[in-house]
């Protein structure tokens, strides 16, 4: 397989087959997901030693735990004896994980600590230190926990690259610009969609173009304030430039805006007083902390391949978890500012619930459209005709002009399929045997 079998960057076209071929799905698992660093959760989910939750690393089921020494572990949730999940509770606090089949037990760090009939029938010879749960490499970045099972993978910092480190750090800053400013609210949102995972990924990567999908909700003022459209920044009077930012070497993408100047607070128009006061205070604090960089507003993006996030006043991080070429499970973590008063957390939480996920008035229309688009990748005739990715082609510029926006990234301003092209170009490189 060659990259050019799927993508023609000159023409701006992409094969439909990559959304429906099971063979390509199997290659993705090995070549795209396995070598990647994946978001697996947040330290606020592990407040106490012994706390754990189940997650996914790539598409692999994992246990994320804080052991008795306080260290964070990411363990493949598969018993070394016959492959049972060592843990079948979504979350909790434990001293060990006991496999329900033959009773092997594992410590919070994955060490095999108990084997029934160890002395009598294994004659004490089973090398317990070799049969612990498989441990992933772990990296904690401003509260977010990342993991990979690939020993050959780059370091987390190199995988992200310098520019995406900047954007991810910005994403995880609280509204006041404080690093590590968020906590996860209890309960992950998980649901299944009958479409290829890349429909979600490319939408989050850079689709500034699909306003038409959401016209119904634009009528209804579902924003945080309940008075402006679906986005809080819709109330801002300061002009801003929307942009697609892509790191072509690594496949990461960001949707963002840069405000023209460091303007006064004009974002949360009409929010309840206490909420408005909180955001006003944060706005000033953030400008003090970040200076000129406070002009940046991140809307969302994708850390290659399947970690996606939404920002711009509602911070969520999620995973696209393919189950097959045509089926995807979606997981979402909802974040609220750690130090905010409860009324802010609650108002924000209600905003997420009406916005995102299967009950979200905005995202419902995304899911509907992606599953319908999936049909367009299955017909034999249709598959001869590629998809069109020509929107704003050839208008990219390097970021060097505004140095703080990144060194390696390229940018296209306004509505564009710049990020989708970068995402798929990198994807095709990973999938291909030869360029």
Partner 1 sequence: MTASDDRESALDTILLEAEIERFFSAEAEMLDERRFDAWLDLLHEDLRYWMPIARNVRFDKPETEYTREHSEANWFDEGKDILRKRVLQIQGGDHWAEEPRSRTTHLVANVRVEAIDGADITVKSRFVVCGYRLEHDVDLFIGKRIDVLRRVDGKLKILRRAIYLDQSVLLSRNLTTFF
Positive or negative torsion for Cα 41, 44, 47, 53: negative
The residue ranges that bind partner 1 (CB under 8 A) are 88-92, 185-194, 213, 215-217, 219-222, 226, 329, 332, 334, 345-346, 349-350, 352-354, 357-359, 361, 364-365, 367-369, 371
* Cα gap 421→432, rounded to integer Å: 16
We find the least distance from the C-beta atom of residue 72 to ligand FES, in angstroms, to be 24
We find the least distance from the C-beta atom of residue 312 to partner 1, in angstroms, to be 19
DSSP states of 242-307:
EEEEEETTTTEEEEEEEESS---S-SSTT--HHHHHHHHHHHHHHHHHHGGGGGEEEEEEEETTTE
Residue 7 or residue 222: which is nearer to partner 1 going by CB?
A: 222
Helix (H) or strand (E) holding 197: helix 197-206
* Closest residue by beta carbon to Fe ion: 366
For residue 319 the two structure tokens come to: 């995973």
Residue 109 or residue 366: which is nearer to Fe ion going by CB?
A: 366
Q: Where are the beta strands (DSSP E) in 118-194?
A: 137-141, 144-148, 182-184, 189-193
Q: If contact means CB under 5 to 8 A according to the sort of partner, which of Fe ion, ligand FES, partner 1, none does residue 82 touch? A: ligand FES
Q: Is-contact 156 332, C-beta < 8 A?
A: no
The residue within the footprint of Fe ion, chosen from 17, 28, 202, 366 (CB under 5 A), is: 366
The residue ranges that bind ligand FES (CB under 6 A) are 79, 81-82, 84, 99, 101-104
Residue 296 or residue 330: which is nearer to partner 1 going by CB?
A: 330
Q: If contact means CB under 5 to 8 A according to the sort of partner, which of Fe ion, ligand FES, partner 1, none does residue 194 touch? A: partner 1
- Biggest CA–CA distance in the chain, Å, is 76
We find the least distance from the C-beta atom of residue 96 to ligand FES, in angstroms, to be 13
For residue 180 the two structure tokens come to: 């590590």
Residue 287 or residue 310: which is nearer to partner 1 going by CB?
A: 310
Residue 103 or residue 264: which is nearer to ligand FES going by CB?
A: 103
Query: Which range in 90-98, 353-361, 363-371, 414-422 contacts Fe ion by CB under 5 A?
Result: 363-371
We find the least distance from the C-beta atom of residue 331 to partner 1, in angstroms, to be 9
State how far the alpha carbon of 293 is from the alpha carbons of 138, 191, 296, in Å. Answer: 29, 36, 6
Residue 89 or residue 122: which is nearer to partner 1 going by CB?
A: 89
DSSP-based three-state secondary structure for 424: helix
DSSP state, residue 178 = -
Residue 102 or residue 400: which is nearer to ligand FES going by CB?
A: 102
Binding site for Fe ion (CB under 5 A): 366
């Amino acid at each position: 397989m060659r990259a050019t079998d799927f993508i023609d960057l000159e023409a701006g076209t992409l094969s439909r087959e990559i959304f429906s071929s099971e063979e390509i799905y199997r290659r993705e698992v090995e070549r795209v997901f396995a070598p990647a660093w994946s978001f697996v959760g947040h330290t606020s989910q592990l407040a106490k030693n012994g706390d754990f939750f189940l997650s996914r690393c790539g598409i692999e089921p994992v246990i994320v735990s804080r052991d008795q020494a306080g260290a964070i572990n990411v363990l493949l949730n598969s018993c070394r004896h016959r492959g049972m999940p060592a843990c079948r509770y979504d979350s909790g606090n434990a001293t060990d994980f006991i496999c329900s089949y033959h009773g092997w037990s594992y410590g919070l760090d994955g060490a095999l600590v108990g084997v029934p009939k160890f002395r009598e029938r294994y004659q004490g010879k089973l090398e317990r230190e070799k049969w612990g749960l498989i441990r992933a490499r772990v990296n904690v970045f401003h509260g977010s926990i990342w993991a990979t099972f690939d020993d050959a993978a780059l370091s987390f910092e190199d995988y992200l690259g310098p520019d995406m480190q900047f954007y991810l750090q910005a994403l995880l800053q609280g509204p006041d610009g404080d690093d590590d400013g968020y906590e996860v609210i209890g309960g992950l949102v998980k649901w299944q969609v009958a479409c290829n995972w890349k429909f979600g990924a490319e939408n989050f990567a850079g689709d500034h173009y699909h306003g038409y999908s959401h016209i119904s909700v634009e009528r209804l003022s579902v924003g945080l304030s309940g008075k402006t459209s679906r986005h809080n920044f819709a109330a801002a009077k300061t002009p801003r430039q929307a942009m697609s930012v892509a790191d072509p070497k690594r496949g990461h993408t960001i949707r963002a805006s840069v405000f023209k100047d460091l303007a006064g607070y004009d974002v949360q128009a009409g929010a309840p007083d206490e909420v408005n006061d909180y955001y006003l205070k944060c706005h000033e604090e953030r400008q003090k902390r970040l200076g000129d960089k406070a002009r940046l507003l991140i809307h969302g993006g994708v850390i290659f391949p399947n970690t996606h996030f939404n920002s711009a006043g509602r911070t969520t991080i999620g995973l696209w978890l393919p189950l097959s070429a045509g089926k995807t499970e979606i997981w979402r973590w909802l974040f609220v500012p750690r130090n905010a008063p409860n009324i802010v957390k609650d108002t924000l939480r209600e905003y997420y619930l009406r916005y995102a996920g299967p009950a979200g008035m905005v995202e419902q229309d995304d899911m509907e459209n992606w599953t319908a688009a999936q049909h367009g990748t299955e017909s034999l005739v249709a598959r001869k005709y590629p998809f069109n990715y020509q929107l704003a082609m050839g208008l990219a510029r390097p970021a060097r002009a505004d140095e703080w926006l990144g060194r390696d990234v390229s940018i296209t301003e306004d509505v564009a399929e710049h990020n989708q092209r970068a995402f798929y170009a990198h994807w095709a490189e990973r999938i291909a045997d030869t360029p």
